[in-house]
Amino acid sequence: MIKFYLGEEPLLNNVKTYLCRNKRHKSYVLKNLNKLVVKEVHGAGGVGMLVGPLATKNEIAKYKARIETSPDKFIAQPMLALSTNPTYVNQEIVPRHVDLRPFVLHGPNPVVVPGGLTRVALKEGLSL
């Protein structure tokens, strides 16, 4: 997005993303649905996505049909191992997935706002 919107090279690389509208990418995605996370291009909040490693064969087959019908509506990415944060749960420190959302005010003088929103998955094994 940085290169697209600002014409600059990003300081950090993005996750490898396969555009299903690209024939070569689509072929790779369809052969590897069980290893990838597939999202609708205009989706939000994780609704309607396929998490291949956690999906059933039936769910994968249905998603494959959707991609074949409208490949331009989907992207795919490898599933990432999420980091954990030490969290106090039931009187002990245990690893849990934490999500941090910092905020930047964009304008003539952009500012990173102190603090941010955070949430934690308190149950073991859950991710956000």
Helix axes 57-69, 23-31, angle to 10 degrees: 170
Number of domains in the chain: 2
Q: Is residue 127 part of a domain?
A: no
- Are 49 and 112 in a shared domain? no
pLDDT digits (tens, 9 = 90+) for 34-83: 999 999 998 776 778 999 999 999 999 999 999 999 999 999 999 988 78
pLDDT digits (tens, 9 = 90+) for 5-46: 888 888 888 899 999 999 999 999 999 999 999 999 987 767
Please give the residue range of the domain that contains residue 91. 85-120
- Are 6 and 28 in a shared domain? yes
When pLDDT is cut at 50, 70 and 90, the band that residue 115 belongs to is: confident
Q: Which of 26-30, 99-103, 122-126 has the lowest mean pLDDT?
A: 122-126
For residue 16 the two structure tokens come to: 């490898």
Among 8, 7, 26, CA closest to 18: 26
Report pLDDT for 127. Answer: 67
For residue 13 the two structure tokens come to: 């690389």
Count of residues in the chain:
128
Global pTM exceeds 0.85: no
- Are 72 and 45 in a shared domain? yes
- Are 92 and 74 in a shared domain? no
Q: Is residue 29 part of a domain?
A: yes
Report pLDDT for 93. Answer: 95
Report pLDDT for 109. Answer: 92
Report pLDDT for 82. Answer: 79
pLDDT at 126 over 80: no
Q: Is residue 126 part of a domain?
A: no
Among 8, 15, 6, CA closest to 38: 15
Rg, Å, the chain Cα set = 18
- Are 67 and 91 in a shared domain? no
- Are 47 and 74 in a shared domain? yes
Q: Is residue 45 part of a domain?
A: yes
- Are 56 and 98 in a shared domain? no
- Are 23 and 66 in a shared domain? yes
- Are 44 and 69 in a shared domain? yes
Report pLDDT for 43. Answer: 78
